[in-house]
Amino acid sequence: RVMLGASRKTVASNGEGIVMTFVSVQVIKRTFFLSQKYAYPADELMPLSCKGRVRGQEPNRGDIDDSLGKFSLTLIDTLDTLVVLNKLDEFEDAVRKAVKDVRLDNDVVVSVFETNIRVLGGLLGGHIMADLLRQRGQRMEWYRDELLHMAIELGHRLIPAFNTTSGLPYPKVNLRHGILKPQSRTGTESDTCTACAGTMILEFAALSRLSGQPVFEEHARKALDVLWERRQKGSDLVGTVINIHNGEWVRRDSGVGAGIDSYYEYLMKAYILLGDSVFLERFNVHYSAIMKYISQPPLLLNVHMHNPTVSVRSWMDSLLAFFPGLQVLRGDLKPAIETHEMLYQVTKQHKFLPEAFTTEFRVHWGQHLLRPEFAESTYYLYKATGDPYYLRVGQSIVEKLNTYARVPCGFAAVQDVRTGTHEDRMDSFFLAEMFKYLYLLFSDKSHVPIDIDDYIFTTEAHLLPVSLSTTKAPCPGTVPVPPEDDLFSHSCPSTETLFPNNPTFAKTIRDGYKYLTGVGQAFRYMLRREFELPLPDKGIEPVEFLKSMGISLSPLNEILSGDTNGVLRVKLVAEVSQTAEEEVVPHVVQLISPPFLGRMVLTAGPAKFGADLTKQEHGVKGSIVKASPYTACGPVDNAVEIKGRIALALRGDCMFAVKARWLQQAGAIGVIFIDHHEGSNSDETPLFQMVGDGDSNEDITLPLVFLFSREGALLTAALEEHHNVDVVLLPKERQLGREKPVSVNIKLRLMEHGEVEEGMVTSPSLELVMEKEEEGEKLGGKQSQQQDCSQTSQDDRTSTCSADSP
């Protein structure tokens, strides 16, 4: 079996030693070895079957198989990765194998985009590394530019795809027969994606400058010119799919994820690689539009290119995870940190980034294809900030790959992150990109035989030297339009100016987005003066999600004319009773029956409604029993068992107050709510107070506490093992005699399509109404106070833990 993280590295930060796991070279070498042992000369490894995927011999997967051209894809895609890992013997052997065995004239239809970034990019990266080693006199003395000659051949086999009236390429080409011939079996397509047409310039320009043949760069520049001219002039955004013959947009939704992503990436990187300022100026125009319309920190939501104030869907795809890395290249660190932190919180909730997830961070498409974009952005952020936090993020990626993706013959894609089932698939980009970024994240410069700063990464993480900018372009470049403010457009935001005297600025930014996935004080950052709340008009997930956050919603009484683009806007009233300054009184669930006898103490959060445990001298004691159904959002089936006992109920599906009423009706004397977000715990997450449902909660008279997932698992495990468990619910520190503070209730009111004021319709807005009210007792204690607990291990030994609450 293959396992990442066989080696260890100590990283010092702020005087503390942080032991980080990094990707072992031997493990990557072994994974590559397995792919060659079981798959070569096939394009990719099937890690569950331990055999190669040969196109035509396995069930057809549709467009996915268009990346397979019977040209030993994984071998070529991994060439420069072997050099980065300093496995030079293996690299030389792989180059010999590619030169000897790989043919590029196969009668097969392939994706122009995938073949360009994976195969042409792989051949160029391999040639550049081989040429460098040959020049150093270390090895490869036999090499005579064979990989470059193969790249030139492949370039000419891709050129027929550009034979369109617009200059935009066909999405597919037959490697032997080209386009439109009877034997080609392609050429009837009329559309291509923006990224497919706009992700050619790095490889094609490098090929032109290394070969002296201008035709490649000319075609790539022409395609970019068309996309630039076809942008929506009012918003400066581009659509997702375009007609290759007339340049008309077929899909007008605009974002930074699938279908568009690498178009923006290649504008920025083309400027870095080639030094042509026209690419930077175009990128800056697009980037301003992205930050104005698509970026809704920390989210990046698709909008309509002609009406960019309207979000067209309520989910995001995993490919947008590259964007924080691109923002780092531009020097815009603050939004990069924000979006990356959001993505990290999603991975903590679902183990991996789902192929798509909703704005409520629920799974939309459950696949995880071992995509490298999140690791890529993590690497860039660590390079830019030096913050060891990103090493810990990288460590979590490694650990999850080991735990959930590792199989005997390599690593397998995850078919559904909710079930953990595997898919018999290991795409070549896993070796080409994921391993490369993770290795570089944890490696010192001395571990890498080349200076990475001398190269730019393509979208497939192949290495092209920035020295190509000094090579005269064999074709005339696009004449740049003079920018309005040249100095500003060529400058990056300064973190010193934005965050003066704040070396921990990255943490300062992250802290506002730490609990996005519904744990702790989630979404507090959203309490700004105005915002729109788009909710799909089908399905109740967004509504239920808001309810779980203590927000109640009701339809507007005054419905204005129809909804627009499937977006339903509702009146929203939220009672937010915990202010930023308010401190939470820690409570505990203490197990008092044998064999625990008070030694197991679980930290719990209180509620803003129900019985006040701080006013009860001895707390509330009782036996615990699970509610059935566990979510307790309706009448419970085991009311006889619950009567006179403390009920356990799972968070989610409805509000805390709803659960409490049903359990109180069943005769419970208290309720312990357990978080449904896997892995949450009181060591890493600040306690928060449960709130009611916006209505009067005076009818709820039983005490309520909240346990995070890890503490809840200990409690339910104790119940399953011992069947009869008695607990006591009480404040952690009883000596809290405090003055009455003044808290603030914030009511939010969002009107559908605006309201009529003095005969005019105003735009939708969020109205904040702040009301002061006296609380019964001032909450005391410190959020950061020491938390002491005793936990009984599986073999009934007692271990004591002590940790600072965040």
What is the average pLDDT score of the chain?
81
User: H or E stretch including 413?
Assistant: strand 413-416
**Residues sharing a CB contact under 8 Å with residue 761, sequence separation 6 or more, in sequence order:** 560, 753, 754, 755
pLDDT reported for residue 617 = 78
pLDDT reported for residue 472 = 65
- pLDDT tens digits, 296-338: 989 999 999 999 988 899 999 999 999 999 999 999 999 999 9
Answer whether residue 383 is part of any domain. yes
Q: Show the tokens assigned to 571.
A: 């009146």
DSSP 581-632: T-----EEEEE-STTTTT-EEEEEB-BSSS--GGG-TT-EEEEEEE-SSTT-
Side-by-side strand order, sheet with 670-674: 600-604, 587-591, 726-731, 620-626, 646-650, 670-674, 704-707
Q: Check pLDDT > 70 for residue 224.
A: yes
Question: Pick from 427, 780, 773, 408: which is nearest to 606 by CA?
Answer: 780
One domain, residues 89 and 171:
yes
pLDDT reported for residue 485 = 52
Domain termination residue (choose one: 489, 506, 530): 489
Band (pLDDT 50/70/90 cuts) for residue 585 is confident
Full domain range(s) for residue 526: 518-578+743-774
Whole-angstrom distance, CA of residue 481 vs CA of residue 493: 23
One domain, residues 208 and 344:
yes
Question: Pick from 172, 168, 138: which is nearest to 249 by CA?
Answer: 168
pLDDT reported for residue 251 = 95
pLDDT reported for residue 495 = 66
- pLDDT tens digits, 16-47: 223 333 445 667 778 889 999 999 999 999 99
One domain, residues 359 and 264:
yes
240 is in an annotated binding site: no
Answer whether residue 10 is part of any domain. no
Q: In whole angstroms, how far apart are CA 535 and each of 186, 187, 358, 567, 752?
A: 41, 41, 11, 6, 11
Instruction: For the chain, give the percent of residues with pLDDT over 90.
Output: 63
Answer whether residue 34 is part of any domain. yes
Q: Give residue 297's Cα distance to chain centre.
A: 13
CATH number at residue 274: 1.50.10.10
Q: Are 120 and 151 in contact (CB under 8 A)?
A: yes
DSSP 345-359: HHHHHHSS--SEEET
pLDDT reported for residue 695 = 58
pLDDT reported for residue 596 = 85
Mean pLDDT to the nearest integer, 628-632:
93
One domain, residues 624 and 554:
no
Q: Check pLDDT > 60 for residue 664.
A: yes
pLDDT reported for residue 95 = 98
Mean pLDDT to the nearest integer, 580-584:
54
3-state secondary structure of 185: coil
Q: How many CB atoms lie within 10 A of CB 384?
A: 19
Which of 261-275, 295-309, 574-588, 685-699 is predicted least confidently? 574-588
pLDDT reported for residue 542 = 54
One domain, residues 465 and 553:
no
Answer whether residue 797 is part of any domain. no
pLDDT reported for residue 497 = 65
Which of 153-162, 566-575, 628-637 is predicted least confidently? 566-575
- pLDDT tens digits, 716-774: 999 999 989 999 999 987 633 333 333 444 444 444 444 444 444 444 444 444 444 44
Domain termination residue (choose one: 447, 472, 489): 489
pLDDT reported for residue 496 = 65
- Cα dihedral value 568, 569, 575, 578, nearest 10: 90
One domain, residues 767 and 638:
no
State the DSSP code for 482.
P
Whole-angstrom distance, CA of residue 459 vs CA of residue 469: 18
Amino acid in position 12: A
Mean pLDDT to the nearest integer, 618-638:
93
Band (pLDDT 50/70/90 cuts) for residue 692 is confident
Burial string for 142-157 (b: 16+ CB within 10 Å, else e) reads ebeebbbebbbebbeb
- pLDDT tens digits, 110-168: 999 999 999 999 999 999 999 999 999 979 999 999 999 999 999 999 999 999 999 99
First CA to last CA distance, the chain:
37
Answer whether residue 786 is part of any domain. no
- pLDDT tens digits, 354-389: 999 999 999 999 999 999 999 999 999 999 999 999
Answer whether residue 189 is part of any domain. yes
* Catalytic annotation, residues: 114, 261, 355, 373
pLDDT reported for residue 747 = 44
Mean pLDDT to the nearest integer, 400-424:
95
Answer whether residue 133 is part of any domain. yes
One domain, residues 267 and 409:
yes
Q: Show the tokens assigned to 10.
A: 């100590």
Answer whether residue 6 is part of any domain. no
Burial string for 21-45 (b: 16+ CB within 10 Å, else e) reads bbbbbebbebbbebbbebbbbbbbb
pLDDT reported for residue 303 = 96
CATH number at residue 630: 3.50.30.30
Whole-angstrom distance, CA of residue 585 vs CA of residue 715: 21
Q: Are 105 and 176 in contact (CB under 8 A)?
A: yes
Question: Pick from 402, 400, 406, 399: which is nearest to 422 by CA?
Answer: 406
Q: Are 737 and 698 in contact (CB under 8 A)?
A: no
Whole-angstrom distance, CA of residue 502 vs CA of residue 385: 12
One domain, residues 533 and 624:
no
One domain, residues 348 and 465:
yes
Q: Which parts of 102-249 fold into alpha helices (H)?
A: 112-114, 121-136, 146-158, 194-198, 201-211, 215-229
Q: Are 80 and 462 in contact (CB under 8 A)?
A: yes
Band (pLDDT 50/70/90 cuts) for residue 57 is very high
One domain, residues 614 and 558:
no
Amino acid in position 545: F
Which of 385-399, 423-437, 740-754, 771-785 is predicted least confidently? 771-785
3-state secondary structure of 408: coil
State the DSSP code for 64.
G
Domain count, the chain: 3
Q: In whole angstroms, how far apart are CA 34 and each of 18, 39, 45, 123, 491?
A: 32, 8, 8, 21, 46
Q: Which residue has the higher pLDDT, 562 or 583?
A: 583
Mean pLDDT to the nearest integer, 71-90:
96
One domain, residues 693 and 747:
no
Domain termination residue (choose one: 709, 734, 759): 734
Whole-angstrom distance, CA of residue 531 vs CA of residue 299: 14
Ramachandran angles phi, psi of 297, nearest 5°: -45, 130
Q: Which residue has the higher pLDDT, 731 or 787?
A: 731
One domain, residues 763 and 645:
no
Q: Give residue 775's Cα distance to chain centre.
A: 40
User: H or E stretch including 177?
Assistant: none
Band (pLDDT 50/70/90 cuts) for residue 506 is confident
Q: Check pLDDT > 90 for residue 206.
A: yes
| Burial of 779 per CB tally in 10 Å (0-12, 13-18, 19+) | middle
